[in-house]
Chain A
Amino acid sequence: MNCKEIELRIFDYLEGQLSKQEVSQFEGHLTQCEACNRELKARKKLLDTLQVIPQEKPLPGHLDSFEQMLTREKHRLKKDDALKVQPLYWKRAFQIAASFLLLLLGYLYGEYRGTQLAHTQIVQLQEQSQQLKTNMTLAMLDNRSASKRIQAVNYSEEIKMPDNQVLEAIVGRLQKDDNVNVRLAAAASLSRFQENRLVKDAFISALETEENPDVQIAIIQFLVHIKDERSVTPMKKLLNQPEVPDYVKFQVNQGLDQIL
């Protein structure tokens, strides 16, 4: 036997588990090897010490309660066995429901974000289109094509709150454009602004210069509608002009009745 085999068999030897032949071989090596002797002594001491420590014994009640616990547990396991499929089913259903819920929430959130974004975009677009219409109105009002000038005036009708620059440009068309249709369109467009001082003044001064009966009638109708008393003098002046057609004078007389 070599030292390694001795080390493996030390506890067997101390407890008397080895055969006679193994014992003689074991003891034969020990006489020759000082290291294994020391090891044997240390192990023997350990075993002796272990035997000195008293063995703990469970209290008598423990055994009973353990038995009871065991039967209880067995009983419960039996019961759970019957329900085994059920909880699994509910769990899966819950998982599916949860994933659906998550999906739905995600969709709703996305939708909300989307509409919010779309809403702000719409507002921006509306602002842009208003600005665009303002720019187009101003750019096209000087076009040499009468149809384009009318189109510009029509665009201005889609501007909710035109600034003074736009209003003045349209007033310019009402008073100075050489085409009757453009002047008529300008008068119709400006008729929306019944409270605007600039527009009222423009109509009053246009009445003094306008020579076309159609435009005269459009101007008279506006001034009568807003009941502006400053228009009485220029309207009365029209009545005294021989070149003004009778049907315009008829409108003037009707209008004067309404204002005064």
Chain B
Amino acid sequence: MKRTGMLSIVFMLMCIVTNAQKEFKKSLSGISRIEIETGTSIFLKKGASNEIIIKEGCSNCGNEEEMDQEEFYEPEEDEKAKGLTAIYAGGEDNTGVGIYMEKDGEILRINDLKSFYKRKGLTIIVPNAVAIKMNCGNLGSANIQNITNELEINTTVGYIKLNNVTGPVTAHSSTGNIDAVFTSVNQTAPISISSSTGMIDVSLPSNTKASVELKSTMGSVYSNFNLIEPREDGLKAIGGHKSITGNINNGGVKIALKASIGNIYLRKK
């Protein structure tokens, strides 16, 4: 009995230690904005404490098939690297998890130094008090949940999924789809979502006050909102001849959804 108890305690301790190796925490006092540069997929969600927690891997983001190709990943312990430290072209690893972190006034800059192939993705937990700017590089995608502060998200090929957000949101993906579900819409600053070839699918609460601009150069626009024309002078300049503008619930903050080829879907939640 005694031995089993000891063993279980040792096992628990080991678990904590290995977890601690994969996890990075930093207090965010005095920080109002986080700027993340990475090449991997990010799962970003709201945490309760006033600190940022970065964990290796993310369970519900990225392309599953690519994620499973274990051979790309560095083994936990590389025998050959013993006595050496990993150095990166992007900068110095000052966090121990292959990330360069720099505080610039109220801004915390996070630079992921590992390549897309060396990462299984990252899970980042942040308090709600900070605004987020995130660039997921060429292949990374972004999955964001329950963040009600400002979000600025850029991806190239990866998708952008925003769940239970309020804006202000500025999101762009070159070829990825963008899905956004808003729980309410912050009226202080506009929402802009654009994708070149991806689809844009946005759900808003039916009582949202907004002035909407929907434009797909070569795609179609679908909505079950009643988009009342604010006026019909029809003189809006170029580019505008294919855009749909309208107020929902008598107008409010501006929401612009723009696509080049992909369709746009604006739904009532």
Q: Which residues of A contact B170 (CB under 8 A)?
A: 146-147, 150, 179, 181-182
**Beta-carbon contacts under 8 Å, B73-106 to A:** none
Interface flags for A181-192 (1: CB within 8 Å of B; 0: not) read: 110110110011
Query: Is residue A175 within 8 Å, beta carbon to beta carbon, of the partner chain?
Result: no
CB distance from B184 to the nearest CB of A (A): 16
Query: At the interface, yes or no: B131 with Cβ under 8 Å from chain A?
Result: yes
Chain A residues near B152: list those with CB within 8 A. 145-147, 179
Shortest Cβ distance from residue B205 to the other chain A in the assembled complex, whole angstroms: 19
Looking at the complex, which one of B131, B154, B190 makes contact with A180 (CB distance below 8 Å)?
B154
| Residues B238 and A222 in contact, CB atoms below 8 Å apart | yes
B256 close to A (CB within 8 Å): yes
Specify which chain A residues have a CB less than 8 angstroms from the CB of B191 in the assembled complex: 147
A192 engages B237 (CB within 8 Å) = yes
Q: Is A7 an interface residue, CB under 8 A from the partner?
A: no
> What number of residue pairs across chains A and B have CB atoms under 8 A from each other?
100
Q: Which residues of B contact A221 (CB under 8 A)?
A: 217, 238-239
A145-B131, A150-B256 known; 18 new pairs, CB 8 Å cut-off, are: A144-B107, A145-B189, A146-B133, A147-B150, A147-B192, A150-B190, A180-B154, A181-B192, A184-B192, A185-B256, A213-B196, A214-B172, A214-B195, A217-B260, A221-B217, A221-B239, A245-B196, A247-B261
CB distance from B60 to the nearest CB of A (A): 26
Q: List 15 A-B contacts (CB under 8 A).
A: A144-B33, A144-B107, A146-B170, A147-B150, A151-B190, A154-B190, A180-B194, A181-B258, A184-B194, A191-B238, A214-B260, A217-B260, A224-B238, A247-B260, A247-B261
Chain B positions within 8 Å of A179 at CB level: 152, 154, 170, 172
Provide the residues of chain B in CB contact with A194, threshold 8 Å.
Answer: 237-238
Tell me, rounded to whole Å, the shortest Cβ–Cβ distance linking A182 to chain B.
Answer: 8
Contacts of B254 in A (CB 8 A): 150-151, 154
B168 at the interface (CB under 8 A from A): yes
Interface residues of A in 141-170 (CB under 8 A from B): 144-148, 150-151, 154
Q: A145-B131, A191-B237 are in contact. Are A184 and B168 (CB under 8 A)?
A: no
The distance in angstroms between the C-alpha atoms of A190 and B136, with both chains bound, is 30
Interface on B for A, CB 8 Å cutoff?
A: 33, 107, 131, 133, 150, 152, 154, 167-172, 174, 189-197, 217-218, 237-240, 254, 256, 258, 260-261
Name which residue of chain A comes closest to B173, CB basis: A180
Interface residues of A: mostly helix, strand, loop or mixed?
A: helix
Cα–Cα, bound, A164→B31 (Å)? 36
* Contact A217-B217, Cβ < 8 Å, known A185-B256, A188-B240: yes
Q: Is the CB of B172 within 8 A of A147?
A: no
* In the complex, residue of chain B having the shortest beta-carbon distance to the beta carbon of A149: B170
Determine whether the beta carbon of A150 is less than 8 Å from that of B239. Answer: no
**Interface core residue of B33, B152, B190 (most chain A CB under 10 Å):** B190
Asked whether B189 lies within 8 Å of A148 as measured between CB atoms, the reply is yes
Task: Judge whether A191 and B239 touch: CB under 8 Å.
Answer: yes
- Which residues of A lie under 8 Å from residue B238 when comparing CB positions? 191, 194, 221-222, 224-226
Given contacts A180-B172, A180-B194, contact A218 B239 (CB under 8 A): yes
